[in-house]
Amino acid sequence: MTLLDASAPTPTRSHKARLLGVVALAVAAGAMLLPSGFFPLGVRDELVVRALSVTLLAFAALLLITGLPGNEQGISRWRLGPWYLLWSGLAFGLASLTWLGPQTGSATRIALPSVVEGLGVLGLGIVAWTAGYVLGPPRGLRDAARSGLSTVLRGTGTTVRGGLLPWAFYAVGSAARLTGALLTNRFGYVGDPSELVTSANAYSQLLSLLSTFALFGIAAAAYRVFNPAIRSGNITLWTLVAAEVAVGAVAGSKGAVLLALAAVLIPYGALRGRMPLKTLLIGAVLFLWIAVPFNDAYRQAVRGDVNLTPSEAVTAAPQILTDTMTAKSPVETVGDSAESMLRRVREIDSIAIITQLTPETIAYRSPWEFAVAPAVGLVPRVIWPDKPIFANGYEFYQEYYGGSRTTYTSTAITGLGDLYRHGGLWTVAAGMIMLGVGCRLFDLVIRPEADPRALCFTICFLPVVVKSEIDIGLLLTGIPGGILVAVVGARLICRRSPITAEESR
């Protein structure tokens, strides 16, 4: 048994037209760099040229890989590769143009020429990643992955369970989060942040994995609503979404709101092969008008002169929401939030500060750290009490930005930046090729449109890989746990099916 049928649909546009589009975008990306080769440009002009060039390069790569078999609807079907390139073009490339304005906070420690150099590293990374994705994994590895998934999912079918399943999943996830909050007196952004980098316990990893079931519950409800053969459970779906949005608001996490939205959109795209653009536009306006300003004000309140406890934060949330919605006009609020979010998603900063300081000031780290990361992730803390605390973003802020140990701020390292600090351009090239191969393997095997069990794997890995804020070591460390929780969710989300004589051999 294989997890799904990997046969490709008929392409919707000619290969020739697509290839011409790829060549045109790639030539335009290269042509933008030509002026700097003939006469010197100012650093700000060079930044604009490189930012636009790498953005075009990312979109050329996106057009190329969405022409590969099975990827024709890669964005709406939530393929890992297309979404990775789309996010790279926007968050790493286009968002870098915000460097033309005044900078505040830790960004003031980054020199503008380092941003230009970082964009050059990004261009290399995009080319290497695309090469790895197009080449793909060896057939033997692909077959082994399909065989492995078939083995761990044996005995389950592709029929989603009844209407109580989403509630049961969401209850498990909520219970895990509530237990964690009671045991640590922390909930998301709320609570004493120092404990996150000074102590750890045996149950935190397990509770974190179990909390993912809340998203599985939303995805299962969405699948039942959007499946033409079922079409039931609207009340369940939107009740769970509303609950998750409220939980994310109390936790001080904009990401929780976006993950809840993704848990709805992934089944929608899998079943219908398109995105609800009008609904998404309305949702984006509401997100910028309400969620972003509330989140900013709420975080300032819960971590002011005195850190609020979770119960105190819940009590304060309604008044903070009222104040933020009435402080400015909706149009002004949306404009301010859009600018804030563009700066927030800008990912070039970490690559820039790393190229600025490595290896001249901070020596390269050993690439062998990557080799041991998955093994570290396999061992639970209950067995290894002295297992390291993975506060990588906090430590990165101290090392590269010179932050105080009492400033509990976590800075995105990014996978690309982490590869550079482990050996420079050669490590970037080799690592991005391997990352591209891994993404292609995932997209070849995990197809939610053909098998609802694949939803659990997509929800576990797509946000982490696409957003690419965490370092490679932490990404590799989290793979075993992610696979484990995805397998458990996949086995539970669908009804059992009898094992045939052929499967039992």
Q: What is the pLDDT of residues 106-150, one digit of tens each?
A: 899 999 999 999 999 999 999 999 999 999 999 999 999 999 999
User: Which two structure tokens, joined as six digits, stand for 376?
Assistant: 């570290």
Pair 272, 147: CB distance under 8 Å: no
Q: Tell me whether residue 66 is in a domain.
A: yes
**Distance from chain centroid for Cα 184:** 26
Q: How many helices (H) and strands (E) does the chain have?
A: 24, 2
Q: What is the pLDDT of residue 319?
A: 85
Confidence of residue 231 (pLDDT cuts 50, 70, 90): confident
29 lies in which domain range? 15-135
Q: What is the pLDDT of residue 305?
A: 58
Q: Tell me whether residue 350 is in a domain.
A: no
Confidence of residue 5 (pLDDT cuts 50, 70, 90): very low
Confidence of residue 458 (pLDDT cuts 50, 70, 90): very high
User: Which two structure tokens, joined as six digits, stand for 33?
Assistant: 């760099």
Q: Tell me whether residue 223 is in a domain.
A: no
Q: What is the pLDDT of residue 42?
A: 87
* Cα–Cα distance for residue pair 268/224, rounded to 1 Å: 10
137 preceded by cis ω (within 30°)?
no
Question: H or E element: which one contains 156?
Answer: strand 156-160
Q: What is the pLDDT of residue 407?
A: 64
Pair 273, 449: CB distance under 8 Å: yes
Confidence of residue 193 (pLDDT cuts 50, 70, 90): low
Q: Tell me whether residue 148 is in a domain.
A: no
Q: Tell me whether residue 170 is in a domain.
A: no
User: Which two structure tokens, joined as six digits, stand for 442?
Assistant: 């995932």
Question: H or E element: which one contains 160?
Answer: strand 156-160
Q: Count of CB atoms within 10 A of residue 38's CB?
A: 7
Q: What is the pLDDT of residue 202?
A: 63
Q: What is the mean pLDDT of residues 38-60?
A: 90
Name the average pLDDT for the chain. Answer: 86
Pair 270, 78: CB distance under 8 Å: yes
Summarised one tens digit per residue, pLDDT across range 278-335 is 888 998 898 888 888 888 888 887 776 566 677 777 788 888 888 888 888 888 888 8
Q: Count of CB atoms within 10 A of residue 324's CB?
A: 20
Q: What is the mean pLDDT of residues 408-416?
A: 83
Q: What percent of the chain has pLDDT over 90?
A: 49
Q: Tell me whether residue 368 is in a domain.
A: no
Summarised one tens digit per residue, pLDDT across range 344-400 is 889 999 999 999 999 999 999 998 888 887 777 677 666 776 666 667 888 888 889
Residue with tokens 């790639």: 26
Domain count, the chain: 1
Q: What is the pLDDT of residue 406?
A: 65
User: Which two structure tokens, joined as six digits, stand for 251?
Assistant: 């936790």
Q: Count of CB atoms within 10 A of residue 91's CB?
A: 21
Q: What is the mean pLDDT of residues 231-249?
A: 92
User: Which two structure tokens, joined as six digits, stand for 275?
Assistant: 């995105």
Q: Tell me whether residue 156 is in a domain.
A: no
Q: Tell me whether residue 105 is in a domain.
A: yes
The gap between the terminal CA atoms of the chain, to the nearest Å, is 11
| Phi, then psi, of 496 in degrees rounded to 5 | -75, 150
